[in-house]
Amino acid sequence: MLEPSYLALHRSDGLRERARQALELLSGPSCTVCPRLCKVDRLADERGLCRIGRHAMVASHFPHFGEENCLRGWRGSGTIFFSGCNLRCVFCLPPGTRVATDRGPRAIDDLFNEGSDEIRHGHGFVRRPAGVRVYTVTGEPAPATKAFRHRYSGDLVRVKALNAPEVKLTPNHTVFAAHRSDPANVMKIEAGSLTRDHYLVVPKPKGSTGDPHLDLAEVLQHHVSGRVRTRRRRIDDTRLETALAGGRSSKEVGRELGYHPTYVRRLRAVLRRGELAATPAHTRTVHVEDDRIRFAGEHRPGIPTMLPLDETLAWVLGIYCAEGHVHRAADRPNSLRLVFSVGRHEDDLRRQISARLERLFGLTPTIEHRRTTVTVEVGKSSVGALCSTLCGSGARAKRVPPQLFTGPEAIVRAFLDGYLAGDGTETSTHLVTNTVSPDLAHGLYALGLRLNLLPSIHCWTPPSRKTIEGRSVRQSPLWYVKFKRDRLNGTINERERTRWRDAGDHFLVPIHRIDRKPYDGDVYNLEVDHPSHSYMAPAVAVGNCQNFDVSWQVQGEEAPAERLAAMMLELQAIGCHNINWVTPEHVVPQILEALPLAVDGGLRLPTVYNTSAYDSRDSLALMDGVVDVYMPDLKLMSRDGARRYVGKREYAEVAAANIKEMKRQVGDLVLDEHGLARRGLIVRHLVMPGLLEETEAVLRFVATELGPGTYVNLMGQYYPAGKVGDGRYEEIGRRPTHSELEAAFEIADGLGLKRLDSRSRRAALAGM
């Protein structure tokens, strides 16, 4: 087996001498680490275009499984992502994905649809969300400043963390996660690289400690839609009467009108009674009198215009979500009746509901004894409208009131107490509830996170029909939410054994299930004004664009030589097959300074130099005998394309010369008996939309100048991000088409290139 190149150099003490020479490249008057030649003294911590000074900035380091098979192996490539970049390149979630906002879980496509100021973003669109604040990886709320939508065709990664809701993401969407071997080291990992060996981050959203109040005039105004009408039929009244009055059978009339024959017979009965005409529309208004509010036509007195959202009201709203509904009489559509249904044996619960309603609104409820239940009823339209507006009406439309998500913990706990009193089941360890409303289930889960406990949530699909008391009824999917009883009561057992970990401001939750599913449709993303560039979807912390925030925002950990060496040793200890330096062009001196320390600490893995190919010849000379595998990304070959997309007209000449030098140093790729890369050159090229002539020029250079035995990874995962969406680069504002990717591989085959990465070929031609 080949030993890493740097070991021979280290034994002769040449590695430290290389580090000394490399550090001189940082010093002024110009930094010569890369071809930019910025007029700064980086040794004195001055910063040029790359915005990196004396020490390297590491965005993340972790075992990466998105690399070529010969690098990723079965334990991953040990990638160290360096922040900053010496180039200025311009390079999501499906609809229905819930995002944790400070008003409760919201579908990401709804956030986009409700946005304004739409502009084109490549072949997609971007909008400004309407005052939306989302929860970040730190649990803090932050404004969502942009919402993106674009078309995507390929696989979605479906990830179900233990206890948490499922989330679907495109494979390159980053997720905050930690490897089981180092749970304290949370990093951004592409969804396509996640494994069952990762913990996902489930943040604990933070609330307020204030004294919230409800402005009932504002709440009830949402209920008033200007006019309240009876349901209009889709068939014109004259045509309907003519069809019903004829001598034809109900089946014939139903076939003409698109109605079921049973409904036709019902309409004929209504017509005979003279009640077929629709009720005219009624204007509905609210009246404010002496700090009380009521609907027009509703008996005085009204209810308070301002109502404290205290524990009493929170409990009532909770029991309403469990056992309440609002009844609207067919002949009096503006008259609402608030009804709570409890079991005939639940006398104590009935008394609690009555007492709280009287305390809040000064109303004495009526008690109705029915065949199977006892109901607590209030015939006050404004109270019914208050509950239905805040919490929804009908089992499938119930939801947690949005004001709860930022309320104090005592209010959250009171709501859950009320809800579980009405619809909770006790086990020896948990309180369990179920609902047919997915919005309510996800809201209950989010409230659990507010209370420093990790609930569990899952959906069960029962048989489509069930017989109850002789009647066949349809059954909807049931959402189950479970709360640990001791944690819900504020007691935490430090010795409790769980598969998840409580890490203070977040939970680390193992992956229960992960797979892929083909998808073709719109996907969405958000831009969040927070240093972490993150949001919760719906409970797992996810990131924004995986490259733009690293190369342009310069985020991560400042890593002196000792820390950088420790990162390499950590990756080796995890079991990675190599040390993969990503975007190292501007930090060659820092790498060489750290490498001897890592070797002294026991580093023995081959090294991978994962570069844009815009390196200086001085830096490459210093890496001769240090790097085992060079992996340059040859982007473009034309001067005009290089000027437009990477900001340097001479990029192609510099990159081509550098790749030839890399080939001279390490030769063609050599694999060991396990198929893992030990030494040699891997050339990467990203197929860009509408730029097949660039792809052909790149592949022709590889075939003629480097040889047909060069290992080439022809990649098809380009997607618009970063500055592509600002309107200046519309020609590359889309993904490459399937025909473009097919043409790229046909060009490679026609040029006689023999070692095309098979995994990338399959992925690209499958539309990923």
pLDDT attached to residue 89: 41
Integer CA distances (angstroms), 489 to 419, 446, 450, in order: 15, 17, 13
pLDDT attached to residue 85: 56
User: Residue 722: beta bridge partners?
Assistant: none
Angle at CA of residue 80, ends 75 and 81, nearest 5°:
125
First to last CA, the chain: 35
pLDDT attached to residue 284: 59
Query: In the 3-class helix/strand/coil scheme, how is 534-576 assigned residue by residue?
Result: EEECCCCEEECCCCHHHHCCCCCEEECHHHHHHHHHHHHHHCC
Whether the pTM exceeds 0.85: the reply is no
Q: What contacts 443, CB < 8 A, 6 or more positions away?
A: 104, 105, 399, 400, 404, 405
pLDDT attached to residue 233: 61
Token duo for residue 42: 């980086």
Q: How many Cα atoms occupy the beta-carbon half-sphere of 62 within 13 Å?
A: 28
pLDDT attached to residue 709: 94
- Helix, strand, or coil (residue 708): coil
Integer CA distances (angstroms), 172 to 189, 463, 543, 551, in order: 9, 37, 10, 16
Token duo for residue 303: 């209810």
Query: What is the chain's alpha carbon radius of gyration, rounded to the nearest angstrom?
Result: 32
Integer CA distances (angstroms), 727 to 16, 88, 396, in order: 48, 17, 42
pLDDT attached to residue 281: 45
pLDDT attached to residue 117: 72
Integer CA distances (angstroms), 101 to 56, 455, 522, 709, in order: 35, 18, 21, 53
Token duo for residue 193: 């690289």
pLDDT attached to residue 227: 39
Angle at CA of residue 416, ends 411 and 418, nearest 5°:
95
Answer yes or no: are the C-beta atoms of 636 and 652 closer than 8 Å.
Answer: yes
Token duo for residue 358: 């009287």
Token duo for residue 439: 């919005």
Q: What contacts 552, CB < 8 A, 6 or more positions away?
A: 85, 722
**Angle of helix 381-391 relative to helix 216-223, nearest 10 degrees?**
80
- Helix, strand, or coil (residue 714): strand
Q: Is the dihedral of CA 332, 333, 335, 337 positive or negative?
A: positive
Angle at CA of residue 42, ends 36 and 47, nearest 5°:
70
Q: Residue 378: which of 418, 327, 422 has the closest Cα?
A: 327
User: Residue 629: beta bridge partners?
Assistant: 608, 680
Alpha helices in 30-101 (DSSP H): 69-72
- Per-residue pLDDT of 303-345, as tens digits, reads 888 899 999 999 999 999 999 999 987 666 568 899 999 999 9
Integer CA distances (angstroms), 631 to 155, 617, 667, 682, in order: 26, 16, 12, 5
Alpha helices in 277-403 (DSSP H): 311-323, 347-361, 381-391
Distance from C-alpha of 652 to C-alpha of 645, rounded to nearest angstrom: 12
Alpha helices in 667-710 (DSSP H): 692-701
Where in 38-184 does DSSP place strands (E)?
A: 56-64, 77-82, 98-101, 104-107, 116-121, 124-128, 133-135, 141-161, 166-169, 174-179
H or E element that contains 426: strand 425-426
- Segments in the chain below pLDDT 50: 86-91, 121-122, 225-231, 279-282, 545-553, 721-722, 725-726, 767-768
Length of the chain: 768
